[in-house]
Amino acid sequence: MIKTEQLCKRYPAVTAVEDVTFEVQPGEVLGFLGPNGAGKTTTMRMLAGFVTPTSGRASICDHDVEDEPLAARQSLGYLPEGAPCYGEMRVSTFLEFIADLRRLEGARRRARLEYVIERLQLASVLERPIETLSKGFRRRVGLAQAIMHDPPVLILDEPTDGLDPNQKHEVRTLIEEMASAKIIVISTHILEEVAAVCTRAIIIARGRIVADDTPLQLASRSRYHNAVSLQLARAEQLETARAALAGLAQVERVELTEREARLTALPRAGAMILQDVAALAAQQGLQLKELHLESGRLDEVFRTITA
Amino acid sequence: MRNVALILRRELASYFATPLAYVFIIIFLVLANAFTFYVGAFYQRGQADLRPFFMFHPWLYLFLIPALTMKLWAEERKSGSIELLMTLPVKAWEAVLGKYLAAWLFTALALALTFPIWITVNYLGSPDNGVIFASYLGSLLLAGGFLAIGSCMSALTRNQVVAFILGVVACFVLLLAGYPMVLDSFRGWAPETLTEAIASLSLLTHFQSITRGVLELRDVLYFVMLIGFFLFTTTVAVDLRKAD
């Protein structure tokens, strides 16, 4: 379990993190969201014991990060922001070094080394110095380091930054695989990632938690939650359609994207308008290319909350 | 202690993974011998001892050791790898000691590679090998002192050039603490006891008394305490300023 209580970090000029309190249980994948400079990295660094909090407490698996730093770190796999490494080391020697510091021995050591090399596809670069690797490989070396000792808690600061779509997918699959048995905290500013892998999202802005919910619930805060979007086959019907949609009692407003001949009808609070819109389209003889119900737009919620 | 050994091994390997190790060793050997033969007039003196060899070590170390130590912590902070190291189950003092011992072991290797001059002097005459042994030990202790100072300066900044300059200045001040150049700046205003205390801190005085062949506990203790003090300070600096 991860627990923080009123965690604060103040620097002489700025307050980086203010009064951050949350708990994470095994099985949860927590996504840390927020604009750059909002305090995500500082919070994660405090959890990892790298930055000392100005006030408040944090614990990992019931080990306070200040009072029992070694026990806390043993339960933790941590990928720092930017995945810093010893550039002159070869990948294999680096992984051996980590395995040594993690006190892995014998068969388990061999198995873990094999597992991370296989899982993060590092076999082809084992004998290369880390500084000569591409950004994606370096990130994977950092991830390999973090999961080496199969820790119960993983804190990953932007694990997919710099990876191509295939590698991103690989990392997400890895996170999903590990999710059931572990606590995983990731930070990201890629919103689709939150929807894809996280069971819970905390949004931080200016050092404070401004939202703490499941990605689905967060999306439902969007103006676009349960909105109906339709694309017309014939652009000349656009104006008729707009007028007709605006006439529906349950429709709050209609948005228009002329280039795509697309209309989006936003419902009044709580209303379900899909049936009405579909009926209207048939009645007005609109030729539809597409009709769908939106679950909400995370990016719009993100902008509204953090602005 | 296992972590100290692991970090020591990693550090030592990293010296040899870059040209640093080879450049350092070659320059050290070339300069040490050049000083001995040209400035120290090894042959012209007509004496079978290594005084002209050892008398230049403090001045060689003054520039070479800070060049070796400037990266110890400054580079870790600059590259961010300190965040990796300090979030692994490693105590700060273990990392400080491991890095320091790696640097010391490396210097010891460079010093050991000066053995041809010892063979030369034994071939040419019959020197007092006891004095030579004590001098090697004194030189190693002096290097250890400089390394500890340099390690501390490197922990104070993320800029390697700043770490180098701070290291040279700190080593220079401690080296000459017993000489007028440093003492005069205190004589005007500080009480006599303080001036004397500073004078007794002089690295050069202690080094010279060892190289005369008199291995006194007082001198060895001085170096041990100096090294201990600066390593402790390094640990505090690393712990407090790791994330800055």
Model ipTM?
A: 0.89
CB A69 within 8 A of CB A239: no
Classify domain A2-219 at the CATH topology level: Rossmann fold (3.40.50)
CB B24 within 8 A of CB B11: no
- pLDDT number for residue B90: 94
Mean pLDDT over A230-237 rounds to 85
pLDDT at B29 over 90: yes
pLDDT at A270 over 80: no
CA–CA dist B223, B217 (Å, integer) = 10
pLDDT at A36 over 80: yes
| B contact test, residue of A11, A43, A47, A50 with most B CBs within 10 A | A50
Total domain count for chain B? 1
pLDDT at A89 over 80: yes
Asked if A70 has any chain B CB less than 8 Å from its own CB, the reply is: yes
Grade residue A180 by pLDDT with cuts at 50, 70 and 90.
confident
Grade residue A125 by pLDDT with cuts at 50, 70 and 90.
very high
Helices and strands per DSSP (H, E), number in chain A: 11, 14
- pLDDT number for residue B46: 74
| A contact test, residue of B11, B84, B244 with most A CBs within 10 A | B84
Of B18, B87, B90, Cβ closest to residue A88: B18
Question: What's the pLDDT tens digit per position in B106-117?
Answer: 999 999 999 999
Mean pLDDT over B60-76 rounds to 93
Grade residue A77 by pLDDT with cuts at 50, 70 and 90.
very high
Asked if A100 has any chain B CB less than 8 Å from its own CB, the reply is: yes
- pLDDT number for residue A163: 85
Query: With b meaning 16 or more CB within 10 Å and e meaning fewer, what string describes A49-66?
Result: bbbebeebbbbbbebebe
As a whole-number percent, the residues of chain A with pLDDT over 70 amount to: 100
Chain A: residue whose CA lies nearest to B4 = A101
Least confident of A83-92, A253-262, B163-172, B182-191: B182-191
Of B13, B83, B91, Cβ closest to residue A84: B83
Asked if A79 has any chain B CB less than 8 Å from its own CB, the reply is: no
The dihedral through the CA atoms of B32, B35, B41, B43 has a sign that is positive
pLDDT at B82 over 90: yes
Asked if A145 has any chain B CB less than 8 Å from its own CB, the reply is: yes
Taking one residue from A and the other from B, the number of pairs with CB-CB distance under 8 angstroms is 61
Burial, B33: exposed, middle or buried (Cβ in 10 Å; 0-12, 13-18, 19+)?
A: middle
- pLDDT number for residue A283: 86
Q: Do B10 and A86 touch (CB under 8 A)?
A: yes
CA–CA dist A45, A43 (Å, integer) = 5
Q: Does domain A228-296 have CATH number 1.20.1420.20?
A: no
pLDDT at B181 over 80: no
- pLDDT number for residue A26: 92
- pLDDT number for residue A187: 92
Least confident of A253-267, B6-20, B85-99, B226-240: A253-267
Smallest CA–CA separation between B113 and chain A, in Å?
A: 25
Range(s) for CATH 3.30.70.100 in chain A? Answer: 228-296
Window 204-233 of B, Cβ < 8 Å to A? none
Of A50, A87, A100, Cβ closest to residue B87: A50
| A contact test, residue of B86, B88, B93, B241 with most A CBs within 10 A | B88
Q: Do B83 and A85 touch (CB under 8 A)?
A: no
pTM listed for this prediction: 0.89
Grade residue B26 by pLDDT with cuts at 50, 70 and 90.
very high
Across all residues in chain B, what is the average pLDDT?
90
Grade residue B65 by pLDDT with cuts at 50, 70 and 90.
very high
Grade residue B211 by pLDDT with cuts at 50, 70 and 90.
confident
Q: Do B18 and A93 touch (CB under 8 A)?
A: no
Tell me which chain B residues have a C-beta less than 8 angstroms from the C-beta of A80: 80, 83-84, 87
Smallest CA–CA separation between B60 and chain A, in Å?
A: 28
Residue ranges making up the domain that contains B63: 2-241
Q: Quote the tokens at residue A302.
A: 């993100």
Question: What's the pLDDT tens digit per position in B106-160?
Answer: 999 999 999 999 998 899 888 888 999 999 999 999 999 999 999 999 999 989 9
Range(s) for CATH 3.40.50.300 in chain A? Answer: 2-219
